[in-house]
Chains A and B, each alone.
Chain A
Amino acid sequence: MVGVLLQITNPFSIKKYRKTIKIFGYSKNNSLLCTVQFKKQFMKRLKILSTLLLICFVVATFQNSLTSFVNGFSLGWNIGEYEEMYETTSQTYLAMKLTPKSDLLQMNTLNVRDSSSMMMLPEKATFITFKSMHQEASGEDKFHSVVDALLNVAILSCFVVVLVLVVKIILSFRRSEVFEERNISRINLIGRILIIIGVLNTLWEFLHVFLARRTIALTDFEISYTEIIDWENIIIGLVVLLMNEILIMATGMKKEQELTI
Chain B
Amino acid sequence: MIVVNLDVMMARRKISLNELSEKVNVTPANLSILKTGKAKAVRFSTLEAICKVLDCQPGDILEFVDDTK
Contact = CB atoms under 8 A, between A and B. Distances in A.
Residue from B38, B40, B46 with most neighbouring chain A CB atoms (10 Å):
B40
A259 B38 contact: yes
B54 interface: no
Contacts of A259: 33, 38-41
B65 to A, nearest CB: 20
Interface residues of A, number: 6
Interface string B23-46: 000100011011000111111011
A28 B45 CA distance: 10
B6 to A, nearest CB: 10
Interface string B48-66: 0000000000000000000
B37 to A, nearest CB: 11
A261 B34 CA distance: 7
Contacts of B34: 261
Contacts of B38: 259
A234 to B, nearest CB: 38
A256 B33 CA distance: 12
Contacts of B40: 255-256, 259-260
Residue from A28, A256, A260 with most neighbouring chain B CB atoms (10 Å):
A260
Contacts of B42: 260-261
Contacts of B31: 261
15 contacts: A255-B40, A256-B41, A259-B38, A259-B40, A260-B39, A260-B40, A260-B41, A260-B42, A260-B43, A261-B26, A261-B30, A261-B31, A261-B39, A261-B41, A261-B43
